[in-house]
Structure 1
Amino acid sequence: MVARVSRRGFLEGAAAFSAALWPALPARSAASMGFDEARHLLSRTSFGMTPAEIRAYETLDYTVAVDRLLSAPSREAATPAPGWIGMGPAEVRRAQQTAEAERRDKPDGRKAEVVRPVQEQGRELKIWWIEEMLGTEQPLIERMVWFWHGHFTSSLQKVRYPAALYRQNALFRREALGNYATLLKEVARDPAMLIYLDGMRSVARQPNENFGRELLELFTLGEGNYSEADIKAAARAFTGWSVNRETGQFVERGPQHDDGEKTFLGKTGRFGGEDILKILLAHPRTAETIVEKLWHEFVSLKPDAAEIKRLAADFRKSGYEIKPLLRALLLSASFRDPANRGSLIKSPVELIVGTVHVLGLPVPEKTGIVRMLQGLGQVPFDPPNVKGWAGGEAWISTYTLLLRQQFLRRMVEATTVAPMEGGMAMSARPNRRADRRQQLPGDDSTMQMMEPPRPVEGRSLRNAGNEARLGPTLTGVDSATLVRTLLPRQPVDGLDANGTPGAVVASALLDTAYQLK
């Protein structure tokens, strides 16, 4: 029987985990960081890690390990791009209009089944990114792409031009560890962003304030560090920055730009968009905002104010170089503090993609993963609003906690030697990331496993003693190592680490601590 856990109980239990750290393992050498610290480093910088991946880092000096993670050479996605990324918005609109016309009611009142390009391309785009998360050889790069996607949000629901979102995603990957000043300037001209925040319709006679507001509140200064007059001035400065409706490319329309005098953050001039960005990048709060967000993402939910200011000062001094900042964060005493291990709640993407990776699961039909993510409240290219996903404790509600537990139960049921009716026995397929880029045929039971289930409280596993069938990534690994791989801290719900490997994996996945990183 899996114990019922309430939201309050989960959060109170997570807060009390500081007393439940793993006993320290002896280091293999004086210079090596050891298994648990290697696990912590990889858990924050990837989408799940296998015992072999941890072993590859545990013998390294910690600084050497961080530098290895940051040395990723490629800035391109490994997963082949969808075939439609060259379509212009006009072509997509015409195809969409044709499809909509064909969907007119049949004589019996039902809609004709047709493929609508915007919806189909959007579905393929989400699957493409999930494949990249699973297939990447550079997980830190992909984690940073995901971070920038949550920082500079744009949504398929509003943009309705998937190729623009694909190109924005490529921009985030190019500058994942690059330069924030460059990234900010590119985002200001990014067609997906201009469509999403209505910049393409902002003209001198009627400036739209959406981009100016989010630029100040979310991308640079943070709430409370600017006035409404500053928003209006920024909106005027960016008038004329638009998108060509035929090609989908950025275009600057001079006649639609407000060239008048503006006062912005105490400075006065005939500012354009580039001038506004320059003023913002010179402001200390911009660097502090980015450091605070990265701290929440990688370190803890309780930033050290003095450290934030120190890191932000260095960030500005470097000209907004991201890699040195992230290196400083990962090398900080706060990041390495054992008390911060298991202090963050996994996002739905981390939970699901990470589980698939560590278990070595084949991915028969990635649409099922998208459906599950939708049920848990986090789908790529579909943020809830301009602020992105709140994260942290917001991931846990009574509903989502039950849904998370249900998902993990189904994963266990799908990998048991004696699965439940409708379950799926896991194939012994090699867990190389590159292998999982391949789309495998799936059966109905697989899709049933991936469907977002209705949460059921207190549902017990059939044959509670079942053991998970271990894939190549976990086969041959002793039980103690398995549980330390899967859990950042000692189990909350009770687990026999001396049990058989299959039983340990099944129990660890269902333990409350597995929800943490």
Structure 2
Amino acid sequence: MAKDRAELLSPSQRHLVTRFGYGVDSALARDVRRAGGAQAWFERQLTRPGAFPDRAADQVRGWWPDLDRTPADLWQRQVQEVRGGWQVMEDYGRWLLVRRIRTRRPVLEKMTEFWEGMLHVPVSGDAHFTWRVDYGDTIRRHALGRFDQMLVETTTHPAMLIFLSAATSTKRAPNENLGRELLELHTVGAGNYSEDDVKASSRILTGWHVDLWKTWAASYVEDDHWTGAVQVRGFRDRNRKPDGRRLTKDYLRYLAHHPDTAYRIAERLATKFVRDDPPTALVRRLAKVYLKNDTAIAPVLRALVASKEFRSSAGKKLRDPSEDVVATYRALGVDVGRPSQNDSGANAMLWQASGLGLSPHAWPRPDGTPVTDAVWASPSRALGSMSMHWSMAGGWWPTTDLRYRRPSAWVPAKKPIRFEDLVDDVCRDLLHRRATRAMVETASLATGCRRREKIDREHDLYRWGFPRLLAAVLDSPDHLAC
């Protein structure tokens, strides 16, 4: 039923938890109030995410057992045609979506998603899928830590080495894929390095190895490491030792602390969490905070949310396909159960995201999932979202292993309610905000009901027309924008 006015978060609080979450529901609003407000909640999310017990999110990992198999086991199962790698990666995407619906630690989840997009290893691939779940787990451990430590772990991770052909790179034939993308996509950015830098970068990274096709074990092979003087931008090393692991770490830390890297990370953060064209002044301030704090991520996020640019950016970002799917499930309060068959709701969520444009981390190119709205702001995306909202508003698809709320959750059993008040109740419940005049007018057009019309459980709106009201709210900018 309708939420008391005092229970609604203020617009500024709602903006913060929406931008760094997956949709405001009653559980999230309760966590914010118990923490003492959105700022206190955000600080606790940054520094003590464990203060928010997340058992409901953690337990869904067991719904898809292949996510915890070893790389060698996964490969053998694919070779023996027990289960293909693409199917395991579909499970990975499903796990992420359900986790985002259930989590009480949305800032950690949001930043894990952010870094998986920037330090991108796509879930498609006939070899790196073996290590891809572990790669995501690695990023989650560092998502609110320090970028220099995360960069070392991700660059030398088997999934990244396999994806960018560094797992078989040797001193006799250094492969330049990882050496180049490390500079262009993960650190200093395009236009800030030379071809000589790429060659030296690739030589530094030789020696890291993954035993493809057999054990899938990761190792370091000294005989494969290129030795000799190397220079990338301001980084120089004589590189005389056959064991280049220390060299690799020193090099990656240098890149992580480079001002160009600081600017690029700050710009991507501001683009994702503020607006598509973030002011240069904001980006520079965030880059300074990043460098001053030894690449620590939390201080940068604090500075970002404290900025006037962030405070004035409410409603200026569009939810991407996965965010729309997750926010819709959260808004409607759909209870997602353990999948018992192929078309179960927990499985179908992935098809819904794909139907809107992209499932989690399926972007095929090394540059990762875009954080700008232009990619998703198309007529086909709008139609796809409207179709998904409509099917879920009516509880028509998906249906297996799901439980939807019924109109009785909003329409009282005894006393009739005016239509405009009903719209307000629905907006408070689905969006955690009051219904605007424009929203009431839109709902009237969608349902044919007048503002002051009395609605009870004998009314046609309750009996068969309620999906029109729910869909009208979900199709609005109040839901699609964040």
The verdict on a shared fold, with TM-score over 0.5 as the criterion, is yes
Correspondence for 2:50 among 64, 73, 78: 73
Q: Which residue of 2 aligns with 1:382?
A: 362
C-alpha contact (below 8 Å) 1:492/1:512 kept by paired residues = no
- Residue 211 of structure 2 aligns with an amino acid whose one-letter code is N
Q: Distance in 2 between matches of 1:37 and 1:243?
A: 48
Q: Distance in 1 between matches of 2:335 and 2:9?
A: 30
C-alpha contact (below 8 Å) 1:221/1:280 kept by paired residues = yes
Q: Deviations over 1:34-83 (max 9, x none)?
A: 52222211211111112563365369455323323323127997133543
- Residue 149 of structure 1 aligns with an amino acid whose one-letter code is E
Q: Which residue of 1 aligns with 2:407?
A: 469
Higher mean C-alpha displacement, 71-80 vs 199-208 = 71-80
Correspondence for 2:233 among 245, 254, 265: 265
Q: Which residue of 2 aligns with 1:19?
A: none
Q: Which residue of 2 aligns with 1:199?
A: 166
Flag the 1:166–1:135 CA change in 2: closer, same or farther, 3 A: same
Shift of 1:249: 4.0
C-alpha contact (below 8 Å) 2:211/2:217 kept by paired residues = yes
C-alpha contact (below 8 Å) 2:423/2:443 kept by paired residues = no
Flag the 1:482–1:43 CA change in 2: closer, same or farther, 3 A: farther
Q: Which residue of 2 aligns with 1:223?
A: 190
Higher mean C-alpha displacement, 177-186 vs 240-249 = 240-249
Report the count of equivalent residues.
427
Correspondence for 2:442 among 495, 501, 505: 495
Q: Deviations over 1:185-216 (max 9, x none)?
A: 10011111111111102111111111111111
Question: Does 2:417 match 1:480?
Answer: no
Name the SS of the counterpart of 1:263 in structure 2: strand
Q: Which residue of 2 aligns with 1:308?
A: 283
Name the SS of the counterpart of 1:200 in structure 2: coil
Q: Distance in 1 between matches of 2:49 and 2:402?
A: 33
Shift of 1:321: 1.0
1 or 2, which has the higher helix percentage? 2
Higher mean C-alpha displacement, 80-89 vs 181-190 = 80-89
Q: Which residue of 2 aligns with 1:232?
A: 199
Shift of 1:322: 1.0
Correspondence for 2:327 among 354, 358, 362: 354
Question: Does 2:405 match 1:441?
Answer: no
Q: Deviations over 1:236-294 (max 9, x none)?
A: 11011122345434311111111111221144433542232132123111111111111
Correspondence for 1:278 among 241, 244, 253: 253
Question: Does 2:326 match 1:343?
Answer: no
Shift of 1:362: 3.0
Flag the 1:366–1:86 CA change in 2: closer, same or farther, 3 A: closer
Q: Distance in 2 between matches of 1:470 and 1:237?
A: 64
Flag the 1:471–1:249 CA change in 2: closer, same or farther, 3 A: farther
C-alpha contact (below 8 Å) 1:165/1:381 kept by paired residues = no
Question: Does 2:40 match 1:64?
Answer: yes
Q: Which residue of 1 aligns with 2:156?
A: 189
Q: Which residue of 2 aligns with 1:42?
A: 17
Q: Distance in 1 between matches of 2:268 and 2:352?
A: 26
Q: Deviations over 1:462-497 (max 9, x none)?
A: xxxxx972659x999964364366388955794359
Q: Distance in 2 between matches of 1:425 and 1:180?
A: 39
Q: Distance in 2 between matches of 1:470 and 1:387?
A: 47
Q: Distance in 2 between matches of 1:320 and 1:479?
A: 46
Higher mean C-alpha displacement, 79-88 vs 218-227 = 79-88
Name the SS of the counterpart of 2:209 in structure 1: strand
Flag the 1:209–1:46 CA change in 2: closer, same or farther, 3 A: same
Name the SS of the counterpart of 1:178 in structure 2: coil
Q: Which residue of 1 aligns with 2:388?
A: 407
Question: In percent, how many aligned pairs have the same letter?
Answer: 28
C-alpha contact (below 8 Å) 1:85/1:163 kept by paired residues = no
Q: Distance in 2 between matches of 1:135 and 1:255?
A: 48
Shift of 1:345: 0.7
Flag the 1:66–1:123 CA change in 2: closer, same or farther, 3 A: closer
Q: Which residue of 1 aligns with 2:349?
A: 369
Q: Which residue of 1 aligns with 2:76?
A: 94
Correspondence for 2:470 among 505, 509, 514: 505
Q: Which residue of 1 aligns with 2:242?
A: none
C-alpha contact (below 8 Å) 1:209/1:231 kept by paired residues = yes
Name the SS of the counterpart of 1:157 in structure 2: coil
Flag the 1:404–1:225 CA change in 2: closer, same or farther, 3 A: same
Correspondence for 1:323 among 292, 298, 301: 298
Q: Distance in 2 between matches of 1:336 and 1:229?
A: 43
C-alpha contact (below 8 Å) 1:487/1:513 kept by paired residues = no
Flag the 1:468–1:89 CA change in 2: closer, same or farther, 3 A: closer
Question: Does 2:93 match 1:126?
Answer: yes
C-alpha contact (below 8 Å) 2:334/2:402 kept by paired residues = no
Higher mean C-alpha displacement, 179-188 vs 38-47 = 38-47
C-alpha contact (below 8 Å) 1:486/1:514 kept by paired residues = yes
Higher mean C-alpha displacement, 84-93 vs 388-397 = 84-93
Flag the 1:261–1:359 CA change in 2: closer, same or farther, 3 A: same
Higher mean C-alpha displacement, 477-486 vs 374-383 = 477-486
Q: Distance in 1 between matches of 2:290 and 2:398?
A: 49
Q: Distance in 2 between matches of 1:39 and 1:404?
A: 23
Q: Deviations over 1:313-346 (max 9, x none)?
A: 1211211111121122122221112xx1110010
